[in-house]
Chains A and B, each alone.
Chain A
Amino acid sequence: MIGVSGFKFNTCFGCRQDERRGQYRHMETAKPFQQTKPIVQVDRLTKKIGSTTIIHDLSFDLYPGEVFGLLGPNGAGKTTTIRLMLGLMSITKGDVRVHGYSIQTEFEQAIAHVGAMLESPEMYPYLTGYENLVHYARMVSGVTTERIQEVIEWSGLHDRIDEKVHTYSLGMRQRLALAQALLHAPSVLILDEPTNGLDPAGIRDVRHRLMRLTREEGMAVLISSHLLPEMEQMCDRVGMIQKGRLVDIQSIRGFAHKSKHVRVSLTVHPLHKATSWVQERYPQNIEQVRKDGLEISILREHIPRLVSGLVQAGLQIYEVRVTSKTLEDRFLEVLGGHPLEKDHPPDHE
């Protein structure tokens, strides 16, 4: 447990897999996002290098307890945005405020609430894991030895913490970098491509840790990625960046539950019989007829009725799958036909 104060939800990470309670929870969490004050406000952020503008008028807010994703193809400006937010690069126009403190004029107060991990987890290779943590602990006030121990336990690195970092695997360095970011119990966590180069188990591990931090500690998390499936799994809201502009912000959880119709992929035999059966009862809903099945857009609560009807009609059902295709379609739409990379490794829960 990381001892961050205050904001707690009465839900645990495990609820995510539980559909019924999950729905309830999403309704609950949807409200605090709008009601609470944002922790981070990105306000018309603009960055010019020479005469080229690389970030155009970017605005969004980060709320406690949410995971906000910055999604966009490589080179869209995700990393630059993050560096501007962290004060690593100077801001040409606009501002970033953390708890109301400007990152430009009140850097020390603003950054004190922020923990970050940037791209590849770069720690001092010639120091031990523990020394790396001590190094960063010395730079903030109030981090005790107990706190360092707590973070080490949290990261699961206690067995190897006294070994030099250059002996660590990428996953271990990732966890150490995450531990470093959490050391001073920040209320905002900013992660640039946190799962880059990790194997599926590592990605899942990062995801679980992030979920715990936001749901249990009420932390606000900003992550960037160019991988859509990853964002779908981790984020509550996703901002899409292209060519330095924020083109759209989508609420992912809201999306899955607010929209009444879901797309169902059926693999069924014999197909012609099934097609005519569905056409009779749900004439408007057939989206596509495939070689081996159908794609149907249907109200979520009608799925059981559809399935039992098909069974009673004597059809053989091989597969029923909800494919929320629409989200990806939306991304493709706003990104203007620049498909996102889909080389995401299979990640089964």
Chain B
Amino acid sequence: MSELALFFSYEFTLLALVAGLLASVLGGVLGTFVVVKRLVFIAGGISHAAFAGLGFFYWLGHDPLIGAVLVAVAAALFLGLFSEGQARSQDAMIGVLWAGGMAVGVLFIHMTPGYAPNLMTYLFGDILTVAPRDVVLLAILTAITLVLLAVLHRGLVAVAFDETFARVQGVPVRVLTLLLLVLVALAVILLIQVVGIVLLLALFTLPPMIGLMLVSRSFGLVLLAAVLVGMLMTAGGIAASWTMDLPTGPAIVLTGIVIGVGVWGVKALRFRFRGNS
């Protein structure tokens, strides 16, 4: 109990917790769209491509965050506009952006004289070192995302469910898809700080997957479930990392996987004992 009291007595741990909860909202809401629209690898490509901008701006001596945002948004628009009717080339292009972005980023960080930043932090994240500015940015982006969701949800859900039907109904499918990708790109950049480039896909995929396992009646409830699962996952991960002295990124991801396996197991057992009803 004293350990818990200690946890809440530090400013940086509280900041980490707030960052984790905001990341859960972003990851849960945007991730659910990403999962049902099968954009997971586009999100992965965007996050890895962003590393090029991050490294380049670091080398220039500017704020790496700005470089990452510029490249991520450009990659999102590029992949979004590239997508129509060219699934194979888009798939390959994601791979090119993925590897190319990492290569460029690592190269520039290598070329930068003086103390090299810890690559591990970018790759795997460290929520306990999250800066107040990043938490503010996370809060702003979360607020923007929620407002857009409130205003556009009919169109967004229609596009997520059945694009062609939505187009016939006059919904601007392309604009909404691009908007979604840009929001994903911005979220990806801010989530790099929380769980790192390599692990951030977990925040976009695990909570929505678990949410979809729990709820089949309403898309809105899936969003809510995904957000709550994400919160459980990040808070649990931070707690595990704090008590067992583990790196936070992997602790968050593995907590999520444990929750997912648990939910799946309970569902499988119930299915078995109740029969198909």
Q: Do A and B bind each other?
A: no
A interface list, Cβ under 8 A from B = none
B interface list, Cβ under 8 A from A = none
